[in-house]
């Protein structure tokens, strides 16, 4: 168990070190997030729809689309020089590899979210101070949900033709439950309503997290070259 | 040997399909001439005898794909993968029937072609998911990898569908309640029920007929691939 944890941390650390030295994906994802936030601000009739009405949707479209750029890259690293073969040769369980990859992706997507959230508050001028802890919780739950499935799918699509095209096509259906739930919860938080109003959504998010993190962990082995 | 078997299966599949298509004509004769017109919906309700059974066959096909995906990762048998893929493709055909007849009925009855109701949304996403499944299969050349990857998608899809349903249910719902598969006895008048249940049976036969043909085709195509690679090497 401790060995598996050490292996997972080593894999996550390696991925993050590579990203930290190049910063290519991080810079692209953050810039992309800012662009999406800006474009979505103008994608409405300003005389009929207030910015705050489109804000929750805009935030989550931004988060998920920016995350997809990072996810696309996660296993591309392992493809170069057939690095995945090296990892497979190491005496490490596939579950540990998956958790390492998942952790690195979560840190990556979390960083993108951390940078774009202040910009979102600034651009959309939303009152946010009191709801911030609740929003952080919702974001953590929804992010875990789609990054877990995204990590699994990313491991498959890098070995197909048209990899960049394939990930959104396969991943978007899996975004429906977490993103709809997150948007509903965010809207309540922005309206300064208690979270008990979205109890059903919170349960759905929690169930989705548990089910999909578990199933992705076990299916990951099937996505590796044998 | 394999070739003869596959060709025999294809023949049986087309025979079954022919019988099912004849029976479908029979169902429509019965639906149009010998089944009473629904009091509130009028003749528009007749489309229901195609829509609901097509939806049944489509969902049956996708459920079969999902379950066979689990079975594939367990047994690693190429035949299981080919049946799963055949079922997914046949399911797409039935889904197209469901997704076109639905709006045709919905326009006069609901006053709108489409609405984001729980069942409409779930079925639309199942359809899209399986389009993705087919595209993924097309993007992988190696048999074994293709089988493993599509099995992963099949399983994920099977788990996702209840979540999407729940999501939209929490959002709001409008689709008519089930009239047959529900707690208590069916709430459809006898004559309509007989027509509907016959149609369910006919569509199940159609599914089996299509599936057999599509599977036989996949086996034959595999054989051709092998012959081609042998000829090259």
In this model, does residue B174 exceed pLDDT 60?
Answer: no
Q: Which of B51-55, B110-114, B189-193 has the lowest average pLDDT? A: B189-193
Residue A22 distance to chain B (closest CA, Å): 30
Residue A207 distance to chain B (closest CA, Å): 9
Query: Can you tell me the ipTM of this complex?
Result: 0.89
Q: Which of A27-31, B40-44, B136-140, B205-209 has the lowest average pLDDT? A: B40-44
Q: What is the pLDDT of residue B39?
A: 75
Q: B44-51 — which CB contacts under 8 Å span 24+ positions?
A: B44/B105, B44/B108, B44/B109, B45/B105, B47/B101, B47/B104, B47/B105, B48/B105, B48/B196, B49/B195, B49/B196, B49/B199, B50/B97, B50/B101, B50/B199, B51/B97, B51/B98, B51/B101, B51/B102, B51/B105
Q: What is the pLDDT of residue B72?
A: 95
Q: Does A156 touch chain B (CB under 8 A)?
A: yes
- Report CB contact under 8 Å: B139, A162: yes
Counted domains in chain A:
1
Cite the DSSP H helix spans in chain B. Answer: 2-29, 48-75, 78-110, 118-138, 143-171, 190-232
Higher pLDDT residue, B103 or A83?
B103
Interface test with A, best of B160, B162, B169, B172 (most A CBs within 10 A): B160
Q: What is the pTM of this model?
A: 0.88
In this model, does residue B176 exceed pLDDT 70?
Answer: no
Q: Name every chain B residue with its beta carbon within 8 A of the beta carbon of A207.
A: 163
> What tokens appear for B210 in the block?
């299509």
Q: Which tens digits make up the pLDDT trace of A70-105? A: 888 888 888 877 888 888 888 888 999 999 999 999
> What tokens appear for B198 in the block?
């016959």
Mean pLDDT of A122-129: 83
Q: Does A38 touch chain B (CB under 8 A)?
A: no
Q: Which helix (H) or strand (E) holds A219?
A: helix A199-223
Q: What is the pLDDT of residue B172?
A: 66
CB A109 within 8 A of CB A143: yes
In this model, does residue B183 exceed pLDDT 80?
Answer: no
Q: Domain of residue A107: give its range.
A: 2-223
CA–CA distance, B58 with A25 (Å, rounded to integer) = 41
Q: Name every chain A residue with its beta carbon within 8 A of the beta carbon of B137.
A: none
Would you list the domain boundaries of chain B?
A: 2-176+189-228
Please provide residue B21's backbone torsions phi and psi, each rounded to the nearest 5 degrees.
-65, -40
Q: Name every chain B residue with its beta carbon within 8 A of the beta carbon of A180.
A: 167, 171
Q: Which tens digits make up the pLDDT trace of B121-158? A: 888 999 999 999 999 999 998 889 999 999 999 999 99
Mean pLDDT of A33-39: 93
**Angle between helical axes of A51-74 and A132-157 (0-180°, round to 10):** 40
Q: Name every chain B residue with its beta carbon within 8 A of the beta carbon of A201.
A: 170
B142 Rama sector, left if φ>0, alpha if ψ -120 to 50, beta otherwise: beta
- Residue A147 DSSP class: H
Q: Name every chain A residue with its beta carbon within 8 A of the beta carbon of B131.
A: 169
Q: Which residues in B have their CB inside 8 Å of a CB on A?
A: 73, 125, 128-129, 131-132, 135-136, 139-140, 144-145, 148-149, 151-153, 155-157, 159-160, 163-164, 166-167, 170-171
Residue B216 distance to chain A (closest CA, Å): 26
All residues at 6 or more sequence positions from B112 whose CB lies less than 8 Å from its CB, including other chains: B106
pLDDT grade for B48, boundaries at 50, 70 and 90: confident
Q: Which tens digits make up the pLDDT trace of A193-224? A: 888 888 888 999 999 999 999 999 999 999 98
CA–CA distance, A123 with B138 (Å, rounded to integer) = 42
CB B123 within 8 A of CB B63: no
- Report CB contact under 8 Å: B136, A152: no
Q: What is the pLDDT of residue A22?
A: 86
> What tokens appear for A49 in the block?
């729809």
In this model, does residue B173 exceed pLDDT 60?
Answer: no
Q: Name every chain B residue with its beta carbon within 8 A of the beta carbon of A160.
A: 136, 139-140, 149
Q: Mean pLDDT of all residues in chain A? A: 89
CA–CA distance, B40 with A36 (Å, rounded to integer) = 48
Residue A76 distance to chain B (closest CA, Å): 17
How many CB atoms are located within 10 Å of the residue A225 CB? 12
């Amino acid at each position: 168990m401790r060995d598996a944890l050490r292996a997972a941390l080593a894999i996550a650390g390696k991925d993050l070190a590579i990203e930290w030295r190049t910063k290519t994906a991080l810079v692209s994802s953050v810039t992309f997030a800012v662009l999406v936030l800006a474009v979505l601000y103008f994608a409405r009739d300003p005389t009929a729809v207030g910015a705050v009405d489109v804000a929750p949707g805009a935030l989550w479209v931004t988060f998920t689309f920016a995350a997809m750029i990072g996810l696309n890259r996660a296993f591309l690293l392992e493809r170069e020089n057939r690095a995945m073969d090296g990892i497979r040769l190491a005496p490490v369980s596939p579950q540990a590899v998956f958790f390492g990859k998942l952790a690195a992706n979560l840190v990556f997507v979390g960083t993108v979210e951390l940078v774009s959230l202040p910009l979102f508050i600034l651009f959309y001028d939303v009152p946010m101070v009191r709801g911030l802890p609740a929003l952080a919780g919702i974001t953590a739950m929804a992010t875990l949900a789609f990054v877990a499935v995204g990590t699994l799918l990313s491991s498959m699509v890098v070995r197909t033709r048209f990899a960049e095209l394939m990930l959104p096509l396969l991943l978007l259906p899996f975004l429906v439950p977490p993103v709809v739930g997150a948007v509903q919860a965010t809207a309540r938080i922005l309206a300064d309503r208690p979270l008990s109003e979205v109890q059903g959504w919170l349960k759905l998010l929690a169930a989705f997290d548990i089910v999909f993190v578990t199933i992705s962990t076990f299916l990951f082995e099937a996505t590796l070259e044998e | 040997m394999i070739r003869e078997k596959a060709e025999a299966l294809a023949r049986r599949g087309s025979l079954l399909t022919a019988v099912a298509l004849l029976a479908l004509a029979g169902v429509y004769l019965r639906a149009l001439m010998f089944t009473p017109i629904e009091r509130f919906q009028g003749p528009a309700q007749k489309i229901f005898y195609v829509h609901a059974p097509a939806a049944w066959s489509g969902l049956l096909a996708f459920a079969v794909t999902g379950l066979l995906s689990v079975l594939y990762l367990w047994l690693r048998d190429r035949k299981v993968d080919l049946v799963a893929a055949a079922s997914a493709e046949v399911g797409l055909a039935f889904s197209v029937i469901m997704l076109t007849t639905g709006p045709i009925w919905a326009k006069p009855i609901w006053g709108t072609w489409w609405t984001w109701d729980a069942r409409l949304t779930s079925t639309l996403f199942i359809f899209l998911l399986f389009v993705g499944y087919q595209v993924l299969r097309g993007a992988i050349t190696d048999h074994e990898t293709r089988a493993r990857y599509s099995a992963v998608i099949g399983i994920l899809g099977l788990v996702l569908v209840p979540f999407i349903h729940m999501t939209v249910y929490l959002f709001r719902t409008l689709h008519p309640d089930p009239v047959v598969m529900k707690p208590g006895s069916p709430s459809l008048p006898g004559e309509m029920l007989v027509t509907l249940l016959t149609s369910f049976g006919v569509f199940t036969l159609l599914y089996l007929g299509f599936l057999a043909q599509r599977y036989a085709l996949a086996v034959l195509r595999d054989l051709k691939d092998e012959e081609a690679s042998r000829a090259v090497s």
